[in-house]
Amino acid sequence: HLDRIAAVDDHVHAFLHVDREGALAAAEAVDADLAAGKAPASPLAGVPLALKDVFTTKGIPTTCGSRTLEGWVPPYDATVTRTLREAGVVILGKTNMDEFAMGSSTENSAFGPTHNPWDHARIPGGSGGGSSASLAAFEAPLAIGTDTGGSIRQPGAVTGTVGVKPTYGGVSRYGLVAFSSSLDQGGPCARTVLDAAMLHEIIGGHDPMDSTSIDAPVPPVVAAAREGARDGLSGVRVGVVSEFRGEGYQPGVLRSFEAAVDQLRALGAEVVEVSCPHFTYALPAYYLIAPSEASSNLARFDAMRYGIRVSDDGTHSAEEVMSLTREAGFGPEVKRRIMLGTYALSSGYYDAYYGSAQKVRTLIIRDFDAAFEQVDVLVSPTTPTTAFKIGERVDDPLAMYLADLCTIPSDLAGNAALSVPCGLSDEDGLPVGLQVMAPALADDRLYKVAAAYE
Ligand code: GLN
């Protein structure tokens, strides 16, 4: 995999940092254990993995795709990083991402975009485009992403790979650089559903270092994937979300989606239409809630504690240093989010914007609750379109935000959801994703359906 990265990453740019020595040392340690007759630390011991650059890694630079953190080497491991190391998983390096995970294309990375391995002129999705592209380019067999509004599933869909957003609280956020704390969720990315399930079982589980971590066992996702692949879907009730089609969706995406639904039926599932009327308000609610939380979280980048500090002659006040540093360190999308968020939280506007968005969030949770009384899982296309061209949407933030139309409801509700490849669009030959959504803590249902379908 290191050779493959050396051969193709100049063109793909999935990695911000390749930890060649660390990876070789980790792989040799696994070999030494095996040679000494010790049982492997986990079923994935010795398997290489690409880690999104939003997780802290002791001794390995962590930038979050931002100039602000350029050169920062964390003094500690995120829980996800530590758990991977303890399982013997070999961390190849850190993957490219939109700055602070804000974006849908990786074009907001301060270090240049990642290219979609299917067509280098196109985006690999975002914010975790580097992780998904590394899988599609065969630079890594496993990767980790984070999903706040779709950043695991949307890159999965447009690169033809699997991406899972576990139930909120299912994977520890300790050491995950915060964007929107009530939404951020780490999860597995892989080329097959079973690979993702095996990784999910390693990174999932309760962590006392994360106050929102769920104190419950990891759902039996590996067994569910095996069961789905073996037994099919008889007795499984699948709901097609009526709101996610029509205007704004490419016909080729919808045709691939309809073919996938037919296949679910052929596998034995009972398929019905389900209306979730408030899902259409999820996107505007998200773009108030996520920037509000971001504006608060990003206050920690104050030029004193982390990363770069800009002060030309040393005579500036702390406030001037802070503002010079933030001016130079943050890209335009991050500044836009901070302005949106501080505005939505400001006195006199709080109830109108943030408060209303929180009420919409409750209505979306109720839509899911009502839907899951009728069906076991919901399905939709993961994204309205296939991978768009690099540059096509950079000057139009609203068009960029639309990439997450179908993924955001599960983030707002804290439910589990995944994207599994469902063929190539007959319009442009590019990958399409099938999104499967399940109730909180029923992550195993996603794997059963996706593994049966795959
Ligand atoms: N594209 C969305 C945004 O820009 C989602 C990002 C994410 O899930 N991290 O906020």
Tokens 């254990």 locate to: 33
- The model's pLDDT over 354-370, given as tens digits with 9 standing for 90+, comes to 999 999 999 999 999 99
Sorting pLDDT into bands at 50, 70 and 90, what band is 429? very high
CA 305 to chain centre: 27
Say if ligand 1 is within 6 A of residue 180 CB: no
Query: Quick check: CB of 148 below 6 Å from ligand 1?
Result: yes
For the cut 90, the answer to whether the pLDDT of residue 66 exceeds it is: yes
CA distance 332 to 211: 32
Taking the model in full, what pTM does it have?
0.98
CA separation for the pair 96, 112 (Å, rounded): 9
The identity of residue 443, as a single letter, is D
Of 104, 109, 127, 410, the catalytic one is 127
Give the whole-angstrom CA distance, residue 168 versus residue 364: 15
Mutation choice for ligand 1 from 53, 148, 177, CB with most ligand atoms inside 8 A: 148
Pocket flag, ligand 1, residue 149 (CB < 6 Å): yes
Q: Is 414 in the pocket of ligand 1 (CB under 6 A)?
A: no
Q: Where are the beta strands (DSSP E) in 166-222?
A: 185-190
* Cβ partners under 8 Å of residue 101, min gap 6: 54, 64, 65, 127, 128, 146, 148, 151, 179, 184
2-282+356-453 — its CATH code? 3.90.1300.10
* Dihedral over Cα of 212, 367, 259, 432: its sign: negative
Asked about 151 being catalytic, the answer comes back as yes
Which residues are 48's β-sheet partners? Answer: 90
Q: How confident is the model at residue 446 (pLDDT cuts 50, 70, 90)?
A: very high
Nearest to 201 by CA among 221, 225, 176: 221
Confidence class for position 312, pLDDT limits 50, 70, 90? confident
- Write b or e for each residue in 79-103: b if 16 or more Cβ atoms lie within 10 A of its Cβ, otherwise e: bbbbbbbebbbbbbbbbbbbbbbbb
Asked if pLDDT for residue 9 goes beyond 90, the answer is yes
**% of residues, the chain, pLDDT over 90:** 95
pLDDT of 60: 97
What separation in Å is there between the alpha carbon of 352 and the centre of ligand 1?
23
The ipTM is: 0.97
**Cβ pair 341, 110 in contact under 8 A:** no
* Average pLDDT score over the chain: 97
**Per-residue pLDDT at 112:** 98
Mean pLDDT for 437-453 is 98
| Boundaries of every domain in the chain | 2-282+356-453
Q: Are strands 237-241 and 270-274 parallel, antiparallel or unpaired?
A: parallel
The whole-angstrom separation of Cα 291 and Cα 340 is 6
- Cβ of 147 less than 6 Å from ligand 1: yes
Is 80 exceeded by the pLDDT of residue 11?
A: yes
Q: Does 127 sit behind a cis peptide bond, omega within 30 degrees of 0 on the bond before it?
A: yes
pLDDT at 282: 97
Is 17 within 8 Å of 54 (Cβ atoms)?
A: no
Ligand 1 closest atom vs CA 101: 9
Return d(Cα 451, Cα 403) in angstroms, integer: 25
- Which of 427, 347, 437 is closest to 153 using CA atoms? 437
Mean pLDDT of 159-169: 98
Residue 222: pLDDT band (50, 70, 90) is very high
Q: Is the pLDDT of residue 451 over 90?
A: yes
Mean pLDDT computed over 78-92:
98
227-238 tens-digit pLDDT: 999 999 999 999
What local confidence, expressed as pLDDT, does residue 315 receive?
72
Q: How confident is the model at residue 313 (pLDDT cuts 50, 70, 90)?
A: confident
Residue 271's CB is within 10 A of a number of other CB atoms, namely 17
